[in-house]
Amino acid sequence: MSRTAIVIGAGIGGLATAVALRQEGWDVEVRERAAARPTTGTSLGLWPGGLRALDALGLGATVRGLSREAARGRFVRSDGTLIGTVDMPELRRRAGDAVRVVSRPALHAVLTDALGDGSVHYGQRVTDTAALAADHEVVVAADGLRSSARTTLFGPAHRPRYSGVSCWHGTVALDVPDMTESWGDRARFGVTPRTGGQAHWFACAPAPARAHHPEGELAAVRARFGTWHEGVRQVLDRLAETESTHGPEAAAPHRNDLYDLAKPLPSYVSGRVALVGDAAHAMTPDLGRGACEALIDGVTLARELAARHRVEDALSAYDATRRRPTQRLARAARLMNRAVHTRKRVAPVRDTAMRLFLAVGRPPA
């Protein structure tokens, strides 16, 4: 007789968990509050650990075929002068892979297709985890940054906290081989490669939460970054071309305020409920690790449930394995967010510290 699990949330972490449990013989249902699976979204960086998790799901080759490897990682100043580079060949030698970039909708589609038709039930909001736990051996809370399951189980002290920084992002017709971040006075601008001769761009700067620029979000980006180096201006010029050809809405960027958790969770499990992904360890995107850690969460949770007869023992092992490293990454991402968006007078210290880290340190794979 198959064991039963229900997953709340059909994001990257929820879907990865569902696929992994299904492969271990579990009967899995996924409930998602959105009306349908996403067809638009940002690019995601897949570090070697995330790719290994996809390999464990049997999906690594498919995702590699839909993604693009970043030839280099570069950090530069707003005038274009180099701060330092990520040694991608060394990362490949050490971890077996470099960093690949894939669109969120593409990764989401691969995971959803692996589950098969009818496994994800859209348009269903779950508010009572206790009722689900009474009917299933395991409940997986993968309901994201504003997880109602997290609040129900651990209280409002672990609510999302605004970092003070907003992020504008979009896609532009530009073929670039490298991942590049440009750092300036309390702001940064990033460009990452995508397939099909496109690039994903993002721009981050301090701003009031939920504020909107009176002349539109693209005007806000131009005002903040229009005098930066040629690589940034090239992106803005392509956006201007899109705007003139297809209208302002076609070039308008998305805007998201950046959040993490106000207080780390004391555990990723409560009874027979396990939290994965942003529900467990929401972090700012400064390290580009959110999707990777959600994938690893799902594979780890399923592995522990397969290895142990008692669900409680498996969930305890999952918590022991995943809580410390993910909370360490969340702290590092928060520190990076604060350091990158520092004022101009402190920027030389920031840049020197980053250059030394890239020269002698090793980014977590």
**What percent of the chain shows pLDDT beyond 70?**
100
Long-range pairs, 129-136, Cβ under 8 A, ≥24: 129/8, 129/153, 129/273, 132/6, 132/8, 133/271, 133/272, 133/273, 135/4, 135/6, 136/4, 136/5, 136/6, 136/272
| Residue 170 resides in a domain | no
What is the pLDDT, as a whole number, of residue 41? Answer: 82
pLDDT, tens digit, 9 for 90 and up, residues 15-50: 999 999 999 999 999 999 999 988 888 899 999 999
Asked if 142 and 14 touch (Cβ cutoff 8 Å), the reply is: yes
Find out whether 74 and 176 touch, Cβ atoms under 8 Å: no
Q: Summarize pLDDT for 61-113 with one digit per residue, the tens.
A: 999 999 999 988 999 999 999 999 998 888 889 888 989 999 999 999 999 99
The pLDDT of residue 364 = 75
Does residue 248 lie within any of the structural domains?
no
Q: What pLDDT digit, counting tens, does each position of 124-133 carry? A: 999 888 889 8
Nearest to 301, CA basis, from 72, 116, 138: 138
What confidence tens digit (pLDDT) does each residue in 329-353 have?
999 999 999 999 988 889 999 999 9
Q: Please give the helix or strand (H or E) that residue 54 lies within, else none.
A: helix 48-56
**Does residue 1 surpass a pLDDT of 70?**
no
Q: Which of 228-237, 331-340, 356-365 has the lowest mean pLDDT?
A: 356-365
The reply to whether 254 falls in a domain is: no
Q: Distance between CA 300 and CA 327 in Å, rounded?
A: 16
* C-alpha to C-alpha distances, 8 to 13, 72, 235, 278, 312, nearest whole angstrom: 10, 37, 38, 12, 19
Specify which residues 29 forms β-bridges with: 6
Q: Is the pLDDT higher at 40 or at 224?
A: 224
For residue 2, is pLDDT > 80?
Answer: no
The mean per-residue pLDDT over the stretch 205-211 comes to 93
Flag whether 221 is in a domain. Answer: no
* For residue 237, pLDDT beyond 60: yes
For residues 290 and 284, give the distance between their C-alpha atoms in angstroms, rounded to a whole number.
Answer: 8
Q: How many CB atoms lie within 10 A of CB 52?
A: 19
The total of structural domains in the chain comes to: 1
Which domain, by its residues, includes 59? 4-160+259-360
Q: Residue 128's pLDDT is what?
A: 85
pLDDT at res. 162: 97
For range 3-19, the mean pLDDT? 97
Is the predicted pLDDT of residue 363 greater than 80, yes or no? no
Asked if the structure places residue 20 within a domain, the reply is yes
Model confidence pLDDT, tens digit, residues 278-312: 999 999 999 999 999 999 999 999 999 999 999 99
Give, rounded to a whole angstrom, the gap between the first and last alpha carbons of the chain. Answer: 38
Instruction: Supply the CATH number for residue 98's domain.
Output: 3.50.50.60
216 lies in some domain: no
Task: For the chain, give the mean pLDDT.
Answer: 94
Residue 232 lies in a domain: no
> Which tokens is 267 given?
């555990």
In a domain, 183, yes or no: no
